[in-house]
Amino acid sequence: MPQDVKDEYEVVWIEPDSTITQPANYKIKIKGTKRFQIDDVFTIYRSEALNFYAKVIDDNHAATGIYWCQIDQPVVNYLNSVRANWNTMTGYKMKLKYPITLLDGRNETNTGFTVSIGANQFVKIKYASQEYIAVMPEKLNDNQWYGVVVNIGNTWNQYNVYVWEQNPNTGGEKIRIKFYETVK
């Protein structure tokens, strides 16, 4: 996998578009001359208040700074719940930042079980053709310790996501739950 790029770029606009190459669902215009390619993943943020990721699906218009990207629907739903006009707001920045893969168990048919964290806030679980995303209300900080547990409950057909962090208090428990969600 390519390395993340530390450089930050200005996002000119983000437009939903249901007519572009699927599974792309948004066109994103980036200011500058840097060119990105298919399967690159952007972390897009606005004053650290809104934070999400988008994967490049089509780069045929890269010469103009426009990329056809996929923003997963649970991420779009979360952004809409926080701010209905999130995609028309200005002041977004982006940088190339690939999801952190915690577990990748694939078989010879390229299916299996993967767990990754996108934009330090979205825990994506892929099990064969099924995909679930747990949205944490706050993003995780870089260079800080976290423990992540994903529990698969076949009996009830559900997944539990736990994120633990170090407890800053010196007395008592050394770790505490930062996030928990059952996704189905």
- Mind listing the pLDDT tens digit for each residue in 31-40? 988 889 999 9
pTM of the model: 0.89
Query: 58 versus 156: which is more confidently predicted?
Result: 58
Sign of CA dihedral 134, 128, 110, 39: negative
Separation of alpha carbons 6 and 17, rounded Å:
29
The percentage of residues in the chain with a pLDDT greater than 90, rounded to a whole number, is: 69
What burial class does residue 12 get, using C-beta atoms within 10 Å of its C-beta: 0-12 exposed, 13-18 middle, 19+ buried?
Answer: middle
pLDDT band for 110, please (50, 70, 90 cuts). low
pLDDT reported for residue 21? 87
The percentage of residues in the chain with a pLDDT greater than 70, rounded to a whole number, is: 95
Query: 57 versus 48: which is more confidently predicted?
Result: 57
pLDDT reported for residue 157? 79
Residue type, 108: E
pLDDT band for 71, please (50, 70, 90 cuts). very high
Sign of CA dihedral 88, 25, 97, 81: positive
Mean model confidence pLDDT for the chain: 90
Range 146-173 average pLDDT: 87
Sign of CA dihedral 19, 24, 27, 33: negative
